Structure 1
Amino acid sequence: MTSREFRPHRVAVLALDGLLPFELGIPHRIFGRPRDARGRHLYEVVTCSVRPPGPVETDADFTVHVTHGPEALATADTVIVPASHERGPVHDEGRLTDDLAAALARIRPGTRLASICTGVYVLAAAGYLDGRPVTTHWAHAEHLQRMFPRIRVDADVLFVDDGDVLTSAGVAAGIDLCLHMVRRDFGTAVANEVARSTVVPPHRDGGQAQYIHRPVPDPQLATTAAARAWALTRLHEPIQLRDMAGREAMSVRTFTRRFREEVGVSPGQWLTRQRVERARHLLESTGLSMDQVAREAGFGTAQSMRQHLLQTLGVTPTAYRRTFRAASGI
């Protein structure tokens, strides 16, 4: 891409009355960091309102002044709706307020849409989510499903990527979602650098299950953290469940239960995800053959790796490498 052709990906963040300031700031923090090899910002982030420029109420003791009106939505490549207090400008019967409906009508077909926490109510009320899998804060999941029975709510994940529509769970899960979009757009290396500068993990283990209130466990009970750390250094080797359980001196049954409680997924699901992330890194940053990448990531064969990447990322290893090695200039 020449300098004349370069245009950053434009992200419009829709600030609604009653917004939660933390969630509003997430897209600016995450998308404001990535730069290319020439130091150019890969994203342009603008905040807009459904009204002409002016103050927008928050759920705190201050307002924010937004300098863009709804016209900014018409120029966006991605539109993000952060959380606002409760359901924000969505009526009890699931209808949008008139000004919000008019603002959303400005979004161009094909624009990527995303929500953080209860921002999902806006996308659902606008009809963007019918028939799609979505998530939101676990405390609102049942209500969201009742209000919009045509969507499929999964309360046990941090975010859902359904292609052109993405939704996240509550609060800090918005960071996970935005990092995922950076990873999808520009690769693991760029997303990892953003995570480092933001002082957050590039990929959090598990889903929302680990954050739902439970009785406080006995502090004397063992955890599975050491087994996970041990496995991460041996992803290229065959790892059996009994091996991980043995690291913690637990039975397989006890280890599996504790692992799910702490991480939110099964040990097998967690291992697969770590191996996919390892394969992504190798595909982006090395010239190893597909067979070599598969062995280093612990998939054994290129065909096995291909199946897992297709299932997880929706692309083949060859297509993934073509996209992200070219973007990194390797």
Structure 2
Amino acid sequence: MRRKDMVHFYEFVDGNPLFKQFKVDDLLFTAYDCPIEGSPVDYWIKTNYFCYVFVGGGRWKTPHEEYVLKAGDAAFLKKGAHRVYKILNGDFCALLIMVPDEFIASVMKEECGMNHSAGTAAYTDSVIRLNLNKTLKDYFDTLLGYFSLENPPSKSLLTIKFKELIVNIATSGHNPLATGYFNKLNTDGKRSLKPIMEEHFMFNLKLKELAKLSGRSLATFNRDFYKIYNMTPAKWIKKRRVEYGKFLLETSDKNINEIALDIGFENTSHFIKCFREHYQHPPLRYKRMLEQQAVVA
């Protein structure tokens, strides 16, 4: 089995006649009304986006956590790669609001009076669940109403509505993780490599895409990476995938094929070979050794 190529989600949605949408420069919001074909689906997106589910549901899986969003739930998802599973029968329908780093950073500074402070922000996963108060829920419901208007709203109004969402979240006090992340976005786009690599090692991304996510040229990315990890990105990714595969062998009931695909290997044979190189045993034998130890204990 081989992993499918990743969908470039922004490019897929932008201008697609299947979806109702409004756009101002790189700001885009759309009523995404489409069943998830197959499960799971890996996709890549060049901007951050907000997701407000109004029909059905989905389950987003990261290396650290699983996030279930059902009708009435919302989350902020960082730009980059994501994996989603369909969890309910029928359509998956959501309001998606796509916003680049630069827009969020400018709103935080100009509208909320928050400056990008020095220091390291608390780590947040690639998916940040949002706590919806009445104001925020009414906001999403209002946006949904725009799609039923005879004439589309003006670009000026849409820009205001994009800003309103950021200000609502940043000033309500109900979403400290999202607010903290917004306020730490650098205007130059450069991001720490460690969280980027931990969020993306299991995805089929090219090094140039990881470099772009970090706000670096490919040459600078490779140079900075080696300073931190003392090895090449390709070698680190393989090592991290094998470590995560070992974790899944120890903590889940997934078979070897499922684990190989989950952690980013294109086929099971490659996973078995790399696992044996790192742990002296093939994964199936390692799994049986764990089971035997559990029986003895």
| TM-score normalised per structure 1 | 0.30
Greater strand share, 1 or 2? 2
| TM-score normalised per structure 2 | 0.34
